[in-house]
Amino acid sequence: MATSTTLAKADESVAHAARLDHVSKSFPGPSGPQLVLDDISLDVAPGEFVTLLGASGCGKSTLLNLVAGLDRPTAGSLTTDGRPALMFQEHALFPWLTAGKNIELALKLRGVAKAERPGKARELLELVRLKGAYGKRVHELSGGMRQRVALARALAQESKLLLMDEPFAALDAITRDVLHDELTRIWAETGVSVLFVTHNVREAVRLAQRVVLLSSRPGRIAREWTVDIPQPRRIEDAPVAELSLGITEVLREEIRRHGQH
Ligand SMILES: Nc1ncnc2c1ncn2[C@@H]1O[C@H](COP(=O)(O)OP(=O)(O)OP(=O)(O)O)[C@@H](O)[C@H]1O
Ligand SMILES: [Mg+2]
C-alpha cells in the first residue's frame, strides 16, 4: 500500500485538522516486523477535542508521533492541517531559560519579530494564568506551573492542531483538575483542535467531545463515544462517572482479551 505523509496547506478547503486513512505501523522485532497499529482511520475535525484512550503499550504514543510527523506510517496515509504542536508528560522546557524565554524561542521559530516576542510571551502566560512567571527559571516553578508554561509554548506555535500525550499524568489530582479546567477554557477560546492521549478514562470523558478507544496488540479502533455532557464538566459529575464506568468495562474487556495487567 502506498504511504504518504503530507502537510496540507492551511486553507478553507481543508475540512479536517488531521486525517488518518488506513494507517498501520510496524516496528522491527526479534521474529520479524511487529504490528503495533493496524488499519487506523480517524478524522479530527477543525476545533474538535478528541481523546485517544487505551491500555499501556497499545500504541497511543506511536499514533501521536505519526500525526506529529516524528515517524512515518508503514501503510496508509496521514494528513494534517499544517504542522501540529506537541505537548508531552515531561514539560521539555529548557532549564537554563526563563519561562518567558522558553516561549519566546517558540515565537522565534515561528518567525515572530524580536521586538514583538516579549509582549506575545506575556500574553500567552496570561492565557495560562501564569502572569508572574515571565522571569522565573524552570526550577523555580512547580510541576503544574511547568506544564502551564509548556502549554503556553505549544500555543505559541499557533498550530491548528494540538497533540497532547498524557500531559497531566505526573501531576497531583487537584492540580490536574485545575489544568483540565484551563485546557477546556483555552480550547474554547482559541478554537484549536486537540488530540489528547490518556489511559485515564475519567480524564478522557472530562475533556473530550469524542473518546476513541484503542485495542491492544495490535492497536485498532475498538470503539468510539460521543460525549454530549455540557462543558465545563467536573471529573466527579454523575454523567461523567456514568459514561466512564461504561467505557471502563469495555476497556477491561479489551485488556482481558489481550492478557495485559
Ligand atoms: N521506536 C520503536 N521501536 C520498536 N518498538 C516500539 C517503538 N516505539 C514503540 N514501540 C512499541 O510499540 C508498542 C506501543 O508503544 P507506545 O509507546 O505507542 O504505547 P502507549 O500506548 O503510548 O503506552 P503508554 O500508555 O505506556 O505510554 C510497544 O510495544 C512498544 O514497545
Ligand atoms: Mg505513551
Q: Which atom of ligand 1 is nearest to the CA of 199?
A: 25
Give the confidence band of 14 by pLDDT, cuts at 50, 70, 90: low
Could you tell me the distance, in angstroms and rounded to a whole number, from the CA of residue 111 to the centre of ligand 2? 31
What average pLDDT does the chain have? Answer: 91
pLDDT exceeds 50 at position 10: no
**58 Cβ closer than 6 Å to some ligand 1 atom:** yes
Q: Express each pLDDT in 193-215 by its tens digit.
A: 999 999 999 999 999 999 999 99
CATH superfamily to which 37-84+160-261 belongs: P-loop containing nucleotide triphosphate hydrolases (3.40.50.300)
Give the confidence band of 259 by pLDDT, cuts at 50, 70, 90: low
The pLDDT of residue 257: 80
The pLDDT of residue 195: 98
Give the confidence band of 91 by pLDDT, cuts at 50, 70, 90: confident
Please give the Cα distance from 125 to 103 (Å, whole number).
9
Helix (H, G, I), strand (E, B) or coil at 210: strand
**260 Cβ closer than 6 Å to some ligand 1 atom:** no
The pLDDT of residue 133: 95
Ligand 2 is a single-atom ion; what residues have CB below 5 A from it?
61
Q: Whose CA is nearest to atom 29 of ligand 1?
A: 57
Give the confidence band of 92 by pLDDT, cuts at 50, 70, 90: confident
Q: Do residues 244 and 210 lie in contact, with contact meaning Cβ atoms separated by under 8 Å?
A: no
**96 Cβ closer than 6 Å to some ligand 1 atom:** no
pLDDT exceeds 80 at position 6: no
Give the confidence band of 1 by pLDDT, cuts at 50, 70, 90: very low
Could you tell me the distance, in angstroms and rounded to a whole number, from the CA of residue 48 to the centre of ligand 1? 26
Q: Express each pLDDT in 15-52 by its tens digit.
A: 899 999 999 999 999 999 999 999 999 999 999 999 99
What value does the mean pLDDT take over residues 171-184? 92
C-beta neighbour count of 64 within 10 angstroms:
22
Q: Whose CA is nearest to atom 4 of ligand 1?
A: 27
The pLDDT of residue 12: 47
Which pTM value belongs to this model?
Answer: 0.92
Please give the Cα distance from 141 to 253 (Å, whole number).
41
Return phi, psi of residue 8, to 5°. Answer: -70, 150
Q: Whose CA is nearest to atom 30 of ligand 1?
A: 57
Residue 79 CA, chain-centre distance (Å), reads 16
The pLDDT of residue 238: 96
Q: Whose CA is nearest to atom 3 of ligand 1?
A: 27
Helix (H, G, I), strand (E, B) or coil at 197: strand
Q: Which atom of ligand 1 is nearest to the CA of 63?
A: 18
Q: Do residues 120 and 152 lie in contact, with contact meaning Cβ atoms separated by under 8 Å?
A: no
Q: Whose CA is nearest to atom 20 of ligand 1?
A: 57
Please give the Cα distance from 223 to 148 (Å, whole number).
31
Give the confidence band of 89 by pLDDT, cuts at 50, 70, 90: confident
Q: Express each pLDDT in 64-77 by its tens digit.
A: 999 999 999 999 99
Q: What cell was used for 103?
A: 516561549
Please give the Cα distance from 203 to 217 (Å, whole number).
23
Q: Show me where the domains of the chain are located.
A: 37-84+160-261, 93-158
Return phi, psi of residue 156, to 5°. Answer: -60, -25
What value does the mean pLDDT take over residues 229-249? 95
